Amino acid sequence: MIEYQEFLQSKRLIIKPVGITSDGAEVNSMLFPFQRDLVKWALRKGRCALFCDTGLGKTFMQLEWARIISKRCLVVAPLSVARQSIREGSKLGIEVNYCRSQEQVKDGANITNYEMIEHFDPDKFDAIVLDESSILKSIDGKTKDKLIKMYNETPYRLCCTATPAPNDIAEMANHSEFLGIMNRTDMLASFFVHDDEGWRLKGHAEEPFYRWMASWSMSVRKPSDLGYDDTGYVLPPLTINPIFIKSGYVPDGQLFFTGMKGITDRAKIRKGTLQDKLDTVLSLIQNGDQYLVWCGLNDEANALKKILPDNRNVEGADEPEQKAKDIEDFQDGAYKVLITKPKIAGHGLNMQNCHKQIFVGMSDSYEAYYQCVRRSYRFGQTEPVDVYIVLSDHEREILDNVKNKEREALEMGEKLIQHVRDYELEELQAKKHDFVYGTAQTEAENFKIMLGDSVERMAEVPDESIHLSVFSPPFQSLYVYSPTERDLGNSKNVMEFNKHFSFIIDHLFRVTIPGRICAVHVADVPAMLVRDGYIGMKDLSGDVIKLFQARGWVFDSRIPIDKNQQAQSIRTHSKGLTMSQMKKDRSWLRPAIPDYILKFRKPGDNPVPVAGDMTGDEWIDLANPTWPNFDDRCAEWGAWSTWYGIKESDTLNVRAARENKDERHICPLQLGTIERCIKLWSNKGETIFDPFAGIGSTGYRALQMGRKFIGCELKPNYYNVAVNNLKTITAKKEDDLFSRPIDLCPS
């Protein structure tokens, strides 16, 4: 059992530390307690992310992390932030070297901007920090891919940003992939499902997902999120003041304004209403205060420069040194009005020196708006912050759109913090994760069903006591029915699934009487592009055969069970079954996927022959190489086609067992299939076993047919329904109900 417990630990999607340990004395005492603990956690992790809100001191934390963990570190930051990081480093006594190529690199902390990364040799660094790492989703795709590829072998990696990344699947995937945690394809396959609403978190994946997130990232809005004192981190009031200017703007070729229809329309309206906004902007500038004025067009910046007092316009065409100087001068109070764009100064800068902002028009980007406001409205700000948004009356829907996104982001951020708080505290305190797991059992004269992990509960079944096992294992599909690593289906890949299943196969071999049978119901699994990288089939039946053979079983036969191809096409929307694909390119077409019964025999002589209770005609029918579905085949082909009566709908009622978080309906094995296996390979009074009992279908049929039953089930609500079903059939005392010959073609 020790080996199994170690295996379960390995299944958990928790990122193991690859860093170093640090005691409190090593971290600069200038850092607040929560900052020191976050640094120590990041040092221990080695590859991780700090999603800490603006003003929580990410620069201090990342520079301390770099100083302690590495001999030579590269910090990559937006151009406007690099000089600020150098200034912050000096407060800690850390010399941060600004460089634009490998030749300028020194030992210790080096900083450059994202546009310069191709001028550096990643092999020359043992650590890298991405400052304002949310920029990964907005920079050029080639640059992002290059960054991820260049540093995929760097031992220590840290991402820092204020934006709560888990609200955005693309951004979360970028961080996870850069840090070497998990690539986008695996992340989506593990935790998300795609439906009509797009990608969403699987119901049972919620706990594993947030625990996984907390194992490599810290999401913090304020110190109290991690149980620390918020003193000094309570922000003053923020007032957003929308101002709508009545405009006579009419698009070219129109008699009157008819609304905005896309990005091009938005740009035209923004440019066409500029003159209407200038007087209002000028009137907002009051003596004595500094102002951040955000624009999005060069025309806006040029017009504002002409009319606003004591200003500087920081634009993209400026030399890097000039940009840095103008921004630093504004931070130092050398002039009154900074005119710039969100993409130039909207990330990472500390501008608590200013508590007045003006947006001259705005885009639909909530993140750009959020980041701009947060240059002034951040921890360390002592004055109430006023933000003015000057728009034409035609642009009202843009602000409405941004405010809706803001509301959604706040709700999602609050939900995120609630979900990860406990897991993050466990991470900070380096506690072991406690997973809730319970057991129970219900026993009667002719059945016993056990709640719990099949591997552990099967250990209670005596050696060579089972005459026949009939079951359908959960196929590899993460967090479909439960959140626990004890679930065989919760396997990241085929190798992990096979390893887990092997523990169960070994127990099956031990408990089965020599010469007796294990009947396994499987179906091959479609390979999906988003999950597997290709469209095709995965040979699950073949893998199961190899697994059983490797554990000592003799493979006897693979019996196909017919399926309705039209019903399967409608249910799965498989490309290989559609009429549209038939007309487009038949090379993709394939038949419907059948189910199989895989028959395995334990070596040795059977001490009690399975004989009687079957006619020759029945055996002739059951010996057919396939077991067709009655609904379509019986009337169509006649009585010569055998094993009719296996209907997909011939199952116990599953409604009571389904939970809201279940991503799929539980699919009990058809009673007709179970009946045939029991009739073929067991005698009355013998014991039938199912290690994945579900709602008790195998036991239900076994008891009806005069056998005894033992089963295991991991999920409590399935177990409860199974107990009820077994008690119900026992009470009816209909053991002989199905002792009659099988009616091949019932009317």
The architecture that CATH gives domain 2-226 is: 3-Layer(aba) Sandwich (3.40)
The amino acid that residue 180 corresponds to is G
Q: pLDDT at position 660, please?
A: 58
- Cα Rg, the chain, nearest whole Å: 33
Q: pLDDT at position 743, please?
A: 44
Between the alpha carbon of residue 510 and those of residues 471, 506, 603, 723, the distances in Å are: 17, 6, 11, 26
| pLDDT per position as a tens digit, 541-567 | 999 999 999 999 999 999 988 777 777
Domain chopping of the chain, boundaries: 2-226, 238-416, 440-732
The two domains 2-226 and 238-416 share their CATH topology (first three levels equal): yes
CATH code, residues 238-416: 3.40.50.300
615: left (phi over 0), alpha (psi -120 to 50) or beta: beta
Contact 150, 128 (CB under 8 A): no
Q: pLDDT at position 746, please?
A: 37
Q: Tell me if the pTM is above 0.75.
A: no
The amino acid that residue 97 corresponds to is N
Grouping H, G, I as helix, E, B as strand and the rest as coil, residue 730 is helix
Q: pLDDT at position 540, please?
A: 87
Q: Cα torsion at 572, 574, 580, 584 (round to 10°)? A: 180
Give me the numbers of helices (H) and strands (E) for the chain, helices first please. Answer: 26, 25
3-state secondary structure labels for all residues of 633-689? HHHHHCCCCCCCCCCCCCCCCCHHHCCCCCCCCCCCCCHHHHHHHHHHHCCCCCEEE
CATH code, residues 440-732: 3.40.50.150
- 729: Cβ contacts below 8 Å, ≥ 6 apart: 700, 703, 704
* Sheet hosting strand 337-340, strand order edge to edge: 238-245, 385-392, 356-360, 291-294, 337-340, 311-313
CA 281 to chain centre: 45
Residue 339's closest CA among 321, 359, 318?
359
Q: pLDDT at position 578, please?
A: 81
Q: pLDDT at position 333, please?
A: 94
Residue ranges of the chain whose pLDDT lies below 70: 22-25, 138-141, 163-168, 196-197, 249-262, 430-436, 476, 478-479, 530-532, 571-572, 627-646, 653-667, 733-747
